Amino acid sequence: MISQIWNRFRDSIFLLGILTFSLPLKTPVIQLYLENAFGFSFPIQLSTNTLFLPMWLGITVVVNMLRLPRVLGQLKFPLFLMAALFFWMWLGAWFSEWRGHSLKHAGRYTIYFLVFLTLLILVRAQNIRSMTSVLLGWFLFISGLTLAEQLFADWRLQPWFASIGLRLDLHYPPETSRLSSIFENPNPYGLISASLLGIAVYGLSQKLWVLGSLSTCAAIWGVIESGSRNAALILF
């Protein structure tokens, strides 16, 4: 019993780290320190999802290594097709006319693929309820920050992140009619909100009444305020 509780708690921490490090927050202070320490410049702007996320994924996989054979055995053929697709993407990026640009985006998409693989290892039937709670709680925290930025004129996300050494680049400023939250662009925010709506409904089916209800409202609000047509299409 104690081991099961510990495993659920540990898996929840891993999921929370994956969600947090997946945010597109630049790390200029850390990048400057590393460049000065090693004496070279990175070809990309380091961020939480290019610096911390791969390391966190590696730790998660190593700790849960015993679950890997089960996942590979169940999804061998789909994973082989996806691996072949990403190999073709890297091959095309290497021989592209704009190699540097192509390799940068190939690396970014590969990180997303690694996130998918790690979640396959991490999420199980035994911890699906606790994982749902973590995901909905994380989304409510992000939605709360976004709402606070709308309600309080003297508080903005960008200066707040800058005060802790992070940089948030927004393609739409908070004064516009479309909200980006902390996803740089309204479209990712809208798509994530639309996706979380389904998970919020699932949370209600798992009797997570408070988290499910609040997340449902936050997801619908995110879709509307983002003004994302793709997010609206997902819902309808």
Distance CA 123, CA 112 (A): 16
pLDDT at site 119: 93
DSSP 63-93: HTGGGHHHHHHHSHHHHHHHHHHHHHHHHHH
pTM of the full predicted structure?
A: 0.90
**Tens digit of each residue's pLDDT (9 = 90 or more) over 91-138:** 999 988 888 878 888 888 899 899 999 999 998 888 899 999 999 999
Q: What residues contact 75, with CB distance under 8 A and at least 6 apart?
A: 120
pLDDT at 38 over 70: yes
pLDDT at 173 over 70: no
Distance CA 2, CA 8 (A): 10
Q: Which residues of 150-163 are buried (b: 16+ CB within 10 A; e: fewer)?
A: eeeeeebbbeebee
- Mean pLDDT to the nearest integer, 188-213: 94
Question: pLDDT band for position 184 (50/70/90)?
Answer: confident
Bridge partners, residue 204, by sequence = none
DSSP SS3 for 227: coil
Instruction: Identify the residue with better confidence: 10 or 3.
Output: 10
**Tens digit of each residue's pLDDT (9 = 90 or more) over 49-92:** 999 999 999 999 999 998 888 888 888 898 999 989 999 999 99
